[in-house]
């Protein structure tokens, strides 16, 4: 298999066990460093942090493959991948690591999961360092029946779908480069190395196809605000200037009423932490996650 140019990053592989589940992870830094759990975006994996993690200084940083992604467990056939279900896994991972309170570093869907975790258990989360994600777009109450109907139909369809087959690893990398958010070759290769598995004479994605299905329910505006209001810990949010369309405009009303959320816009696409934006993010996030900003 072709190797990523960042495969030599000084991490160690971990398997974390809790409640009969196995979460695969990579760990950087020192056991004496400030504990930080890193959550990747939708259909990514922990290799998302391969470039950023070594730049963040002396942390105890653990980046996980979230459920259904990378090399981690897939949820049972009667379970869903609703965003709030990540909260229980985050706490299970922390228990497996022996952490009571810790910070979260997260990207995109992982950032939304981090915010919901912080709003649910604010006493457990020291700081949030978020990349191009904060809260889900609020849903209208009247949309609930159609949302549920669509989710049930998609769960059945994607649950029966065979994963896409690639004749070569490079073909999988090419597909990843040209996904919903285009990626440079190095970033796509790192994610594909972690997110594919060999089958027969080729490769296929290791992700659970049911991740493609929509949530069975979505948070309305009052619920989103309730989680935000309880997340009173220090928060830093990087927004990519060429990231998710209209995200900056959509979040401005939210940010105006939450003084604990510092925002910095940085040049780059949605995965800017895997590209040249990693250095700028590390300069802003590193001291923050180490607690130096509080001294």
137 near 250, Cβ under 8 Å? yes
Among candidates 128, 82, 127, 92, which has minimal Cα distance to 223? 82
Which of these is catalytic: 48, 108, 206, 215? 108
213 near 158, Cβ under 8 Å? yes
237 near 134, Cβ under 8 Å? yes
DSSP track, 153-198: HHHHHHHTPPPPEESSHHHHHHHHHTSSS---HHHHHHHHHHHEEE
109-120 vs 221-230: helix crossing angle, rounded to 10: 70
Task: Please indicate whether residue 108 is annotated as part of the active site.
Answer: yes
Task: Tell me how far apart the terminal alpha carbons of the chain are, to the nearest angstrom.
Answer: 46
Q: How far apart are CA 114 and CA 288, in angstroms?
A: 16
Total Cβ atoms within 10 A of residue 213: 21
Q: How far apart are CA 276 and CA 272, in angstroms?
A: 7
With a CB cutoff of 8 Å and minimum separation 6, the contacts of 222 are: none
Catalytic sites, residue numbers: 108
């Amino acid at each position: 298999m072709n190797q990523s140019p960042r495969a030599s990053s000084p991490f160690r592989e971990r398997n974390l066990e809790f409640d009969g589940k196995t979460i695969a992870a990579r760990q950087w830094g020192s056991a004496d460093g400030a504990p930080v759990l890193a959550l990747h975006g939708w259909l990514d994996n922990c290799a998302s942090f391969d470039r950023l993690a070594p730049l963040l200084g002396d942390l105890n940083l653990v980046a996980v493959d979230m459920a259904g992604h990378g090399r981690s467990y897939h949820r049972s056939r009667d379970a869903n991948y609703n965003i709030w279900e990540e909260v229980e896994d985050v706490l299970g991972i922390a228990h497996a690591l022996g952490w009571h309170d810790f910070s979260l570093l997260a990207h995109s869907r992982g950032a939304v999961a981090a915010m919901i975790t912080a709003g649910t258990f604010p006493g457990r989360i020291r700081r949030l360092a978020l990349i191009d994600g904060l809260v889900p777009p609020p849903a209208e109450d009247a949309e609930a029946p159609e949302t549920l109907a669509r989710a049930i139909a998609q769960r059945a369809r994607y649950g029966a779908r065979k994963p896409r087959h690639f004749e070569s690893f490079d073909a999988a990398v090419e597909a990843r480069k040209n996904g919903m958010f285009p990626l440079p070759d190095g970033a796509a290769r790192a994610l594909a190395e972690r997110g594919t598995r060999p089958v027969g004479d080729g490769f296929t994605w290791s992700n659970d196809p049911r991740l493609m299905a929509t949530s069975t329910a979505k948070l309305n505006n009052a619920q989103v605000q309730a989680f935000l209001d309880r997340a009173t810990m220090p928060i830093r949010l990087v927004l990519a200037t060429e990231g998710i369309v209209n995200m900056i405009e959509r979040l401005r009303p939210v940010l105006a009423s939450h003084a604990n959320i510092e925002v910095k816009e940085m040049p780059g696409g949605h995965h800017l932490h895997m590209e040249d934006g990693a250095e700028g993010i590390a300069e802003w996030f590193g001291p923050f996650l180490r607690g130096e900003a509080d001294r």
